[in-house]
Amino acid sequence: MIRILIVEDERPISNLLRLSLTKEGYACTCAYDGEAAADELERGRYNLILLDVMLPEIDGFELMEYIRPMEIPVIFITAKNAVADRVKGLRAGAEDYIVKPFEIVELLARVDVVLRRYHKNEAILRVGELEIDTYAMRVSRGGEPVELTPKEYDLLLLFAQNPRRALYRETIYERVWGEEYQYGSKTVDLHVQRLRKKVGWEDRLRAVNKVGYRLEV
3-class secondary structure per residue, 22-66: HHCCCEEEEECCHHHHHHHHHHCCCCEEEEECCCCCCCHHHHHHH
151-188, pLDDT tens digit by residue?
A: 999 999 999 988 898 999 998 998 888 888 888 889 99
One domain for residues 9 and 93: yes
Coil, strand, or helix at residue 76?
strand
One domain for residues 60 and 154: no
One domain for residues 195 and 107: no
Coil, strand, or helix at residue 80?
coil
Q: Please state the domain count of the chain.
A: 2
200 contacts 181 by C-beta, under 8 angstroms? no
- Edge to edge, the sheet with strand 3-7 lists 27-31, 3-7, 48-52, 74-78, 96-99
One domain for residues 143 and 114: no
Picking from 119, 145, 174, the residue at the C-terminal end of a domain is 119
One domain for residues 184 and 96: no
20-36, pLDDT tens digit by residue?
A: 999 888 889 999 999 99
Type and span of the H or E element at 154: helix 150-160
pLDDT at 199: 96
One domain for residues 38 and 107: yes
The Cβ of residue 125 has, within 10 Å, a number of other Cβ atoms equal to 16
Q: What is the CATH number of the domain that holds 102?
A: 3.40.50.2300
65 contacts 89 by C-beta, under 8 angstroms? no
pLDDT at 122: 55
Q: What is the CATH number of the domain that holds 176?
A: 1.10.10.10
Low-confidence ranges of the chain (pLDDT < 70): 1, 81-82, 119-123, 135
- Edge to edge, the sheet with strand 205-208 lists 167-168, 212-215, 205-208
One domain for residues 137 and 208: yes
Q: How far apart (Å, rounded) are the C-alpha atoms in residues 192 and 195?
A: 5
One domain for residues 20 and 112: yes
Picking from 83, 102, 119, the residue at the C-terminal end of a domain is 119
Q: How far apart (Å, rounded) are the C-alpha atoms in residues 180 and 170?
A: 8
One domain for residues 139 and 103: no
Picking from 119, 146, 180, the residue at the C-terminal end of a domain is 119
**87: domain range?**
3-119
Q: Would you say the pTM of this structure is higher than 0.75?
A: no
Q: How far apart (Å, rounded) are the C-alpha atoms in residues 33 and 61?
A: 13
